[in-house]
A and B are shown apart, each in its own frame.
Chain A
């Protein structure tokens, strides 16, 4: 028994695909409980019963289209024309542009790859410090995960069975707080950087250049926040719109390139959904076996207050966040934490935002945060240099995390507490 556990842990740490690790554990549990192993497969069928999951391939495809088209360039030009005159203007541009881009692409690695190449030389040319620039671009890669139509939010809503529209609304103020705090830091760091003049002409020219793309974030954000469209409708319209605009209006993407981009996005989708498929059986087994409740009972002996629980949750998730990517962490950890958090009286919307911000930070946390490696690859710098560079940004994000965690009102101000509603 111990030998099997040891072997599984070792294989997992050596890089066995996570979904196979989960499947092995599920198979062993089911076997041990004398349940037919076909139960693992029956749980997989459930993927085809959730309307919300349709949004995942559609949004991912739209995000990949934008990443390969000229959208990052146009987005940066426009934000620069609008925000360039503020102190720390270009840094602020980087923050906002990366946030919008991450919201659409979901996986933050894509943001660093697509935006970094444009923003890095621009920031350096304006004599922002090199270390500051590296840190900024590495950590902002995950900013924007809280805004629609970010995939991690959709996944949390699915796994925790909360309303996805409410969760997006709940993430609005915390997301703005993150951008505000990093923006203030950027403005302070950019005291010596020459400012630009604001010219209406450039704003108009940039807006004309991006005329087809600018309305989209506004429409998606507005549509989802206001509840006019459901998340799946927004996904379908975004995918179709992105396809038409990038292929037939901007001509950035040739039709010949389309199948490859489509395949690329399905590879990411497959990677996520198969983990979900494998985890459904496992987490269901654990919940049926009342494992989370047992953990809760055990924890209550040491942790009585909700505040202490939240602190431990933060620490735990920071570790999880730098070991696992955000999708698998959500899929595997959320179902097990939800009953415990409910035991401590934590609101599920609040829990979701804590989860996402925590995992977002974990992405850039040394030694193994994924963003650090992607940035190291993209900017051709040793990872250790990026550890240093991202440190001040991490500190700010951690402060923001603690505010978000211990001031639930920030999250729940717009939504009220989560109704125990079924997922839509």
Chain B
């Protein structure tokens, strides 16, 4: 009933070497939360610094980050496209042939999770997270800048702590070797949670340091200039 998918899974999947190596690399020696936190903060901080240095030095660097933005955009677009195609296919199969692929529905649910966390990371890059906008309209510009740094720093701290918790959770899933759909390990399907949180930490840290102008509102993408240039990260 599942067609070609199981063979594909068998190649890269649970018994496949690629996935096993990745799992072992990520989780095999148990790591302390402090070490995980330190690694994340170092990586994010390094990336922020690197980005500033590269962006300032030459146009090639700018192109590099534009490429990264394109990749991010491409990944999200692919996920969404896959969701549209798979869900439509499922309806077609169900209504025309009375059959359904068992792995499609759970896969769609995980795709939603992936879109959610990766989309949230891009939202952070563009300063379009939903927030309570009470003071921001009335503060004087100087205070607003300081507040902006403070708020982004606090957000980065939060996502960093969440990241360590997410890593710990995934390590447990790895240890118990939980399989979800198509024999895929649950840690792989849930990996977007720490991945998204790591990206969020990097973006918030970046904004705390570079502090670009805030977007008008999360609800109006059509109006923000950042939306038009096709590049996820507004250049400083």
Contact = CB atoms under 8 A, between A and B. Distances in A.
Interface of A: 11-20, 23-24, 27, 37-38, 40-42, 44-45, 47-51, 53-54, 56-58, 61, 64, 67-68, 107-110, 113-114, 232-233, 235-237, 239-240, 243, 258-260, 262-277, 323-325, 327-328, 368, 370, 373-374, 377-378
Q: Which among A38, A113, A277 has the highest number of chain B CB atoms within 10 Å?
A: A38
Given A18-B130, A113-B220, A378-B223, A57 B83 contact: yes
A16 B156 CA distance: 10
B110 interface: yes
A245 to B, nearest CB: 13
Interface string B197-230: 0000000000000000010111111110001001
Interface string B118-144: 111111101011111111110000000
Given A51-B109, A266-B76, A267-B119, A243 B162 contact: no
A213 to B, nearest CB: 18
Given A11-B154, A243-B84, A17 B131 contact: yes
B161 interface: yes
Contacts of A23: 158-159, 162
Given A17-B155, A58-B84, A48 B219 contact: no
B30 to A, nearest CB: 14
Contacts of A266: 76, 79-80, 115, 118-119, 122
B116 A108 contact: no
Contacts, number: 243
A368 B133 contact: yes
30 contacts: A13-B134, A13-B135, A17-B129, A18-B131, A20-B155, A23-B162, A27-B161, A37-B161, A37-B165, A38-B165, A38-B166, A38-B168, A42-B169, A45-B193, A47-B116, A48-B106, A54-B112, A58-B84, A110-B221, A113-B223, A240-B85, A260-B230, A267-B126, A270-B117, A274-B123, A324-B132, A327-B130, A370-B133, A370-B217, A377-B216
Nearest to B148: A15
Interface residues of B, number: 75
B219 A268 contact: yes
B120 A270 contact: yes
Interface of B: 72-74, 76-77, 79-81, 83-85, 87-88, 90-91, 105-106, 108-113, 115-124, 126, 128-137, 147-148, 150-151, 154-155, 158-159, 161-162, 165-166, 168-169, 172, 189-190, 193, 196, 214, 216-223, 227, 230, 232
